[in-house]
Structure 1
Amino acid sequence: MTTPYLTLDNVSYVLPDGRTLFSNLSAQLDIRRSALVGRNGVGKSILAQLMAGLRQPSSGQCLRQGRIHYLAQQRNFPPDVTLAQLLGVEDRLAALKRIAAGSIETDDFEIVGSDWDLPQWLQQQLELLELGHLSLDMPAQTVSGGEVMQVALLGATLAEADCLILDEPSNHLDAQARRRLAQQLADWQGALLLISHDRQLLAMVERIYELSPAGLKSYGGNYQHYHQQKQDQLEQANDKLQHLQQQRRKENRAMQQQQERQQKRQAKAGRDDHNQAKILLGGRKQNSEKTLGKIQKQQQQRKEQLDGDIANASSHLGQQLPVHVHLDAQAANGSRRQLLTMEELVLPMAAPLQPLNLTLRAGQRLAVMGSNGAGKSTLLKVMAGEMASSAGEMKQCCRLGYLDQQASQLNPNQPLLAQLPTGQGKTQGQLRTWLAQLGLDAQKLAIPTGQLSGGERIKAALALLLYGGELPELLLLDEPSNHLDLSSLQALEAMLGQYQGALVVVSHDQTFLDRLQLTDTLLLNPPVWQLAPC
């Protein structure tokens, strides 16, 4: 039997507002490569932090063996957080600087240890990652998301851990960086837990844990095995619900017929016994009413049991039903009218790029691709009018919707419903239904969007884009698949497949891109732009 690195023993966690996030979770993480999946907001990141010792459970215990390194999801950073801090080397670099300046403090020498060539070694590693242009004292918020994640992954290798817990490590990574990550994970000799919805990474693991309101369940095998098992469970749950509903209809008919027979017997007894003594008639009537009452009580108990069974089956099925993104009916548009044009446009980039000449037409579906830091997000910001170009001209003549990586279109201090206008055929009841189908229930709609999980914020921003007014004719989506759970990702793919408008999407998720029916790709290979049909 393999040695467990992490053991969860009846672990529960209660949120500050008193809600129980999960309860009585038990599992063992050993040397096998494992993954943790689950719906957005179910508590995966909090569970990972409990495993890493960064939080304490409300009850139960988490036992650890060996050194554990936790890599958190990368979000917005405060201005004072540097790349050196992401690497976890800021203390050693600062001590080296003090020693170079003449310090003879014992503490400084103990901090450095044997890492006298650490700055040179780090620079070599950054060069190998094609990140040699970065400086370790740069603020993390000034660097692209993919570059930040690569630096953080380098920090994970420096930790010399026995067990790695990586929370959405492929988010923001370009294709080459994703290949390097996959190779790093293949070469890793210690225990590994991936919190991820990246289907290519999930294909590499040997076991998948799913966290849901029902608890923590282990599935042997990789994503393909997990996906097949989930499909089988969904079919079984649906069959069980249909069987119980059919059984309830059948038994309701039988109960009704039984009551009708008893009532007929009572009526017949009343006609036959009109010559009997009143005392005998009263006794028979009382017995008959007791019999009918007993039958009705038994029927009510059986009805309540069936109703409870159906409610439980419905709840179980509801937890497994796929997420759905509602899309208003759209008229087919066969025109090829111009929606957006760029003439000799120069992006406000530090790295030089040639001027861009681009025309987007109705129905066009364009993927913007390139390495981290090449300027993909900047291009979408310029298209959306949120950033000015350095030179050139842009004309926009359509309704445009823009979703950035941080879901910054949301007001973090307000609940989502407060940001969604009613009218134009949309009632609050309809909005609540569509949002519930999206995985945002009444509880999530009652809190400010800033308190939602990363995936829930992306869903909320997507809802604001689709339900906040008239449907855009052009969607600009910057890494929309980041943070989304597997069911939500599949729902987004299905919705975009039905969307009749034009689409510009930045993504490094090749599986996602393959399902979008793209017409063109725009490759940024500084300083060159390369536009090609698919």
Structure 2
Amino acid sequence: MSPHPHSPSASAIALRGVSFAWPDGTPALTEVSGVFSPGRTGLIGSNGAGKSTLLRLIAGELRPSSGAIDTAGEVGYLPQNIALRPETTIAELLGIDGTLAALRAIETGDVSERHFDAVGDDWDIESRADEALDRIGFSASDLDRPVAAVSGGESMLIAITGLRIRRTPITLLDEPSNNLDRATRARLAEFVDEWPGTLVVVSHDLELLERMEHTAELHAGALTSFGGPYSAWRAHRDAEQEAAQQAARTAQQSLKGEKRQRVEAETKLARRERTARKVQASGSLPKILAGKRANAAQVSAGAMRTNLDDRVRAAQEAVDAADARVREEERISLVLPDPEVPRGRRLVEFTARAPEPGGPDAGAPIVVQGPERVAIVGANGAGKSTLLAQLVTGAPPAPGRPAGALRTERVGYLPQRLVLDEEASALDQVRAAAPGSTPGDIRNGLARLLLRGASVDRPARTLSGGERFRVALARLLFAAPPPQLLVLDEPTNNLDIASVEQLAQALDAYRGGILVVSHDTGFLERIGIDTVLELEPDRGPRGERASGDGAPGARLVRLPSLPA
């Protein structure tokens, strides 16, 4: 990438014929051209369209196979899935660990030139970090704390805070609202509203997309830009599609009319030819005159046929052009098998709080039975994912924490942080989970999830976030016998808007039990939640922040309805 001088009228990012192919030759992007304007832009598109790949190309993590990318300055980038080691510190997640280490070395008397180079102009980095962290409930005293002690949502917000601290002219965020609770999403919204420089956000979060000044769509290998938020773009696109569909219907009717006239003309010509042959055979006209008339009729018929063929051809071209303007949206097709769960069948039992020696009684258990749909909600860091993992693995809960026990062995578990064999293909990973299925059956099932062709055989590390999710979902859905209980931790992460709707429809029709953690209230409403349980973290004696697993304690309580 080559930076160019920025002016108010210039684009912040310009793509010129950008193509990219994976090492096995599979194309990801082909001849993409377009611009991102200064300000805030929401980048949308279906799963697999290449949004994450495009961000990685702009950030310089990948190099285009051909074409060029120009940017108006340095680029900061937050990937869709932050790969973190348990020992990673908050300072490392912020991206300021090197500067801090150099600053601390200088403070201890080490005046090596490399430390001054590392600090540069960031002598106030610790105070700026403290100010930025304070806005999200942390402080500079947390810089050496491992990220294993905070939740996935808190990790995401810390990483976004790090990009603000670094103040790059251009920032790229890939699904930044994944795993964020409503309060944390509100903080993210505040960040977005006041973001300095150019911001490009890939997201399926409609509320976040509404805060954008521009909308860009990557569709069918083309990048198009629109001046306005998602709702305005959607209204514009729907109006265009309605007009395109009407034009296609009109063109089709014109084609039918031209074909009908062609058939009628052929019928008339055939009658004329029969009449001419009869006259010629009767001898009522001299042969020379009859021959001249026959030749003239043939020339006239040929000209008429040519004219009619040209009109049919032109009408067909008009139909093709009109059809090309009508979008064909591919969506995942999920049909979940019937697990045949009786209404009275107990699937899960929860205790509101694990008993402690000498502590209060946990009270009556909370029971999930039959095809009940239960949502577990709570703030980031409350320990929702920890509770689901404890339930599925059977690990003992920490003292003072809620506990769960399964009453069925037929459980399908989709964790928040997907664990895939990065070198294995989608086909091999699903075969391992469904050994009784044939490769052909698995390929057909993956095709319904829009995983087709070469993408089925590529290593998981080359797949987009949405494609990785669909591999994990296929491993769950293709199990035999089908699970009686689905345990889903933030299942809408990394899915495009249409796929979220399809998943909601499939789960709404599922006839087994569902236990789901999600911050997407609209999604929970669409799948028909019966029971809402909130995980409330306890605070320490002075009200200090609990760690990422909800320590020192937490309790599970019923809510009358989903939180607003």
TM more than 0.5: yes
Q: Residues 42 and 230 of structure 2 are in contact (CA less than 8 Å); yes or no, is this contact kept in structure 1?
A: no
Q: What residue is the counterpart of 1:15 in the other structure?
A: 21
Q: Residues 336 and 362 of structure 1 are in contact (CA less than 8 Å); yes or no, is this contact kept in structure 2?
A: yes
- 1:182 pairs with 2:202: no
Q: Residues 5 and 163 of structure 1 are in contact (CA less than 8 Å); yes or no, is this contact kept in structure 2?
A: no
Moved more, 303-312 or 401-410: 303-312
- 1:193 pairs with 2:193: no
Which structure 2 residues correspond to residues 365-444 of structure 1 after superposition, within 5 A?
365-383=373-391, 385-386=392-393, 388-390=395-397, 394-397=405-408, 399-408=410-419, 413-416=424-427, 419=430, 432=444, 438-444=449-455
Q: What residue is the counterpart of 1:493 in the other structure?
A: 504
Q: Residues 356 and 529 of structure 1 are in contact (CA less than 8 Å); yes or no, is this contact kept in structure 2?
A: no
- 1:529 pairs with 2:556: yes
- 1:95 pairs with 2:106: no
Q: CA deviation at 1:152?
A: 0.6
Q: Residues 15 and 21 of structure 1 are in contact (CA less than 8 Å); yes or no, is this contact kept in structure 2?
A: yes
- 1:317 pairs with 2:329: no
Amino acid at match of 1:317: V
Moved more, 241-250 or 331-340: 331-340
C-alpha separation in 1, matches of 2:525 and 2:140: 32
Amino acid at match of 1:529: L
Q: What residue is the counterpart of 2:281 in the other structure?
A: 274
> 468, 477, 481: which one pairs with 2:488?
477
Amino acid at match of 1:465: L
Q: What residue is the counterpart of 1:129 in the other structure?
A: 136
Amino acid at match of 2:376: V
Q: Residues 172 and 199 of structure 2 are in contact (CA less than 8 Å); yes or no, is this contact kept in structure 1?
A: yes
C-alpha separation in 1, matches of 2:478 and 2:302: 53
Q: What residue is the counterpart of 1:351 in the other structure?
A: none
Change in CA separation of 1:367 and 1:89 when aligned onto 2, cut-off 3 Å: same
C-alpha separation in 2, matches of 1:295 and 1:134: 88
Change in CA separation of 1:310 and 1:86 when aligned onto 2, cut-off 3 Å: farther
Q: CA deviation at 1:480?
A: 1.4
1:12-70 CA distance string (max 9 Å, x none): 22324263614252224123x22111112212223334444555545554433344432
Amino acid at match of 1:378: T
Q: Residues 344 and 393 of structure 1 are in contact (CA less than 8 Å); yes or no, is this contact kept in structure 2?
A: no
C-alpha separation in 2, matches of 1:511 and 1:480: 13
> 358, 361, 370: which one pairs with 2:369?
361
Which structure 2 residues correspond to residues 280-359 of structure 1 after superposition, within 5 A?
303=312, 306-307=315-316, 309-319=318-328, 321=329, 323-327=331-335, 335-342=343-350, 357-359=365-367
C-alpha separation in 2, matches of 1:497 and 1:514: 10
Moved more, 15-24 or 214-223: 15-24
Which secondary structure state, in structure 1, belongs to the residue aligned with residue 250 of structure 2?
A: helix
Identity %: 31
Q: CA deviation at 1:73?
A: 2.0
Q: What residue is the counterpart of 2:225 in the other structure?
A: 218
Q: What residue is the counterpart of 1:245 in the other structure?
A: 252
C-alpha separation in 1, matches of 2:271 and 2:435: 56
Q: What residue is the counterpart of 1:27 in the other structure?
A: 35
Q: Residues 18 and 33 of structure 2 are in contact (CA less than 8 Å); yes or no, is this contact kept in structure 1?
A: yes
Q: Residues 88 and 146 of structure 2 are in contact (CA less than 8 Å); yes or no, is this contact kept in structure 1?
A: yes
Amino acid at match of 2:20: V
Q: What residue is the counterpart of 1:46 in the other structure?
A: 53
Q: CA deviation at 1:453?
A: 0.7
- 1:515 pairs with 2:522: no
1:432-465 CA distance string (max 9 Å, x none): 4x75564444453453444221012223333443
C-alpha separation in 1, matches of 2:321 and 2:346: 53
Change in CA separation of 1:499 and 1:395 when aligned onto 2, cut-off 3 Å: closer
Q: Residues 426 and 471 of structure 2 are in contact (CA less than 8 Å); yes or no, is this contact kept in structure 1?
A: no
Q: CA deviation at 1:403?
A: 1.9
> 168, 171, 174: which one pairs with 2:175?
168
The alignment's TM-score, normalised by the length of structure 1, stands at 0.82
Ranges in structure 2 where 5+ consecutive residues have no aligned partner: 1-6, 356-361, 538-553
C-alpha separation in 1, matches of 2:396 and 2:295: 92
- 1:459 pairs with 2:467: no
C-alpha separation in 2, matches of 1:143 and 1:406: 14
Change in CA separation of 1:137 and 1:314 when aligned onto 2, cut-off 3 Å: farther
Amino acid at match of 2:54: L
Moved more, 228-237 or 405-414: 405-414
Q: What residue is the counterpart of 1:233 in the other structure?
A: 240
Moved more, 330-339 or 514-523: 330-339
C-alpha separation in 1, matches of 2:420 and 2:167: 39
C-alpha separation in 2, matches of 1:52 and 1:189: 18
C-alpha separation in 1, matches of 2:290 and 2:88: 92
Q: Residues 422 and 460 of structure 2 are in contact (CA less than 8 Å); yes or no, is this contact kept in structure 1?
A: yes
Q: CA deviation at 1:159?
A: 0.9
Q: Residues 518 and 524 of structure 2 are in contact (CA less than 8 Å); yes or no, is this contact kept in structure 1?
A: yes
C-alpha separation in 1, matches of 2:436 and 2:258: 45
Q: Residues 394 and 405 of structure 2 are in contact (CA less than 8 Å); yes or no, is this contact kept in structure 1?
A: no
Q: Residues 9 and 24 of structure 1 are in contact (CA less than 8 Å); yes or no, is this contact kept in structure 2?
A: yes
How many pairs were matched up? Answer: 523
Amino acid at match of 1:186: D
C-alpha separation in 1, matches of 2:107 and 2:383: 38
Q: CA deviation at 1:166?
A: 1.9
Change in CA separation of 1:464 and 1:18 when aligned onto 2, cut-off 3 Å: closer
Ranges in structure 1 where 5+ consecutive residues have no aligned partner: 348-353
C-alpha separation in 1, matches of 2:182 and 2:257: 57
The alignment's TM-score, normalised by the length of structure 2, stands at 0.78
